[in-house]
Amino acid sequence: MTARLDGLRCIQCDEQYPAVDFPQGCPSCAARGRHSNLFCTYAKSVPAHQRYPYAETTDLGHGDTPLLEPPWLANVSVKNEATNPTGSHKDRFSALVATHARAAGYGGVVIGSSGNAGISLAAYAAAAGLRCAVAAFDWLPDRIRACLTDFGAEVRTFATDRERIEWVTKQAATAELLTVSNITHPVVGSSCYGIEGYKRISWEIAEQAPAPVRHVILPSSRGDLAWGVYRGFAELNEQRGLPIPRLHLVEPYPRLSAVLDGAALTGRFPGDFGRLSSIAGDGTTVQAHRAVTRSQGSAVVVSDAVADDWFRRLCRRGHVWERSSTTVFAACDALRAQGRIGADEHTVLVATSHLFKGF
């Protein structure tokens, strides 16, 4: 346990635990088949900007990303996470899990990923002097594989998600590697230590925004980013009284939307994600659900075809975001057209990743 943390707490049932690793999330909820992630808690005396598990993390220059004010979009700012060292917001997560793995005495880290998260973790593991094992799908693009091996990662590929998770679960059973990605169904999400890294996005937005932020729109698969951003704003609310913006999570087909309409959170929701692989996956999570319901936000479906249209329009303006990132622009349009975001309500879009990986 680090000096700043006083423990972990379940998002769903509130049970408290010591600050060690629980790769399956809350043991109590897992025993009831209703898996939920945990989150880090701090002593009340720790100020909001120090509510971070480690004072210093493995640093390749992540964070402090620019907040753009596109002149062609009124009352909208764009948080450009593509400027992080490996081109995505995942660097904020990787910096913390690499630091945590070293502090907790692991020899390395293991992750299920075929994209941004794997590349980011491989880089930060290399910087921290840790082994990194990446479990990818057989369709892993050559350019991603080359990048992973350049960083020294060990790459294994699998035909199905079940086989991939089985292999990662075996690694999780050893004391050698820290597992940082989800290994359960129902889905939990990723390491709660890494998710703390996303809180800084909220802190930076609060400092950078030209007007009080009423809405934040972000791409989402399992809600790691959404929960971290929600926690960041919730802590600012507790300590400074800043209102929590409504969080709108974008998905390629109904998963969280289906749950908000009454489907069981533990269900599987298969669908066609097209080229939106960064927000693929057939499950949603307690953390995604709570980020939306506690902030009074929503879930928005943006199809691959609509995202592709926005991708081309943004490229023609010189922007560098991958397709999954451009879904936030389409979602903003849709929410405004439906009257769920007023034209005068300042809105921040989180553009998560650079297009250079080809997604």
Backbone φ, ψ for residue 326 (5° rounding): -75, -10
Residue of the chain from 10, 134, 286, 349 that contacts Zn ion (CB under 5 A):
10
Enumerate residues 32-91 that contact Zn ion by CB under 5 A.
36
Kindly state whether residue 229 participates in binding Zn ion, applying the rule CB under 5 A.
Answer: no
Size of the site for Zn ion (CB under 5 A): 7
User: Taking the complex as a whole, how short is the minimal distance between the CB of residue 12 and Zn ion, in angstroms?
Assistant: 5
For residue 202, how many other CB atoms are within 10 A of its CB? 27
Beta carbon nearer to Zn ion, 24 or 208: 24
Considering the complex, what minimum distance in angstroms separates the CB of residue 294 from Zn ion?
A: 16
SS3 104: coil
Using the contact rule CB under 5 A, the part of the chain among 29-37, 71-79, 139-147, 271-279 near Zn ion is: 29-37
Which residue lies nearer to Zn ion by CB, 10 or 279?
10
Residue placing its CB nearer to Zn ion in the complex, 79 or 289? 289
Instruction: Please state at what angle helix 304-315 crosses helix 323-337, rounded to 10 degrees.
Output: 100
Contact between 31 and Zn ion by CB under 5 A: the answer reads no
The conformational region for residue 131 under phi > 0 = left, psi -120 to 50 = alpha, else beta, is beta
CB of 8 to Zn ion, least distance (A): 10
Q: Which stretch binds Zn ion (CB under 5 A): 25-33, 195-203, 241-249, 351-359?
A: 25-33
Q: State the nearest-atom distance from the C-beta of 227 to Zn ion, in Å.
A: 14
Binds Zn ion by CB under 5 A, chosen from 8, 19, 26, 217:
26
CA distance 181 to 212: 34
Whose Cβ is closer to Zn ion: residue 57's or residue 184's? 184
Q: Does 13 bind Zn ion (CB under 5 A)?
A: yes
* Token pair recorded at residue 138: 């057989």
Binding segment for Zn ion (CB under 5 A), chosen from 22-30, 74-82, 132-140, 340-348, is: 22-30
- Nearer to Zn ion by Cβ, of 17 and 137: the residue is 17
Q: Are 114 and 80 a contacting pair, CB within 8 Å?
A: no
358: left (phi over 0), alpha (psi -120 to 50) or beta: left
List of residues 6+ apart from 170 with CB closer than 8 A: none
Residues contacting 55, CB < 8 A, separation 6+: 4
Residue where the block lists tokens 């319901």? 293
Nearer to Zn ion, 29 or 256 (CB): 29
d(C-alpha 4, C-alpha 47), whole Å: 10
Choose the binding region for Zn ion from 28-36, 150-158, 269-277, 346-354 (rule: CB under 5 A): 28-36
Q: Which stretch binds Zn ion (CB under 5 A): 13-21, 128-136, 192-200, 335-343?
A: 13-21
| Class of residue 7 by CB neighbours under 10 A (exposed 0-12, middle 13-18, buried 19+) | middle
Contacting residue, 5, 8, 12, 151, with Zn ion by CB under 5 A: 12
Structure tokens at 321: 């975001």
Q: How far is the CB of 230 from Zn ion (least distance, A)?
A: 17
Q: Which of 5, 8, 19, 29 binds Zn ion (CB under 5 A)?
A: 29
User: At a CB cut-off of 8 Å and minimum separation 6, what does 213 contact?
Assistant: 77, 205, 206, 245, 346, 347, 348
The residues binding Zn ion (CB under 5 A) are: 10, 12-13, 26, 28-29, 36
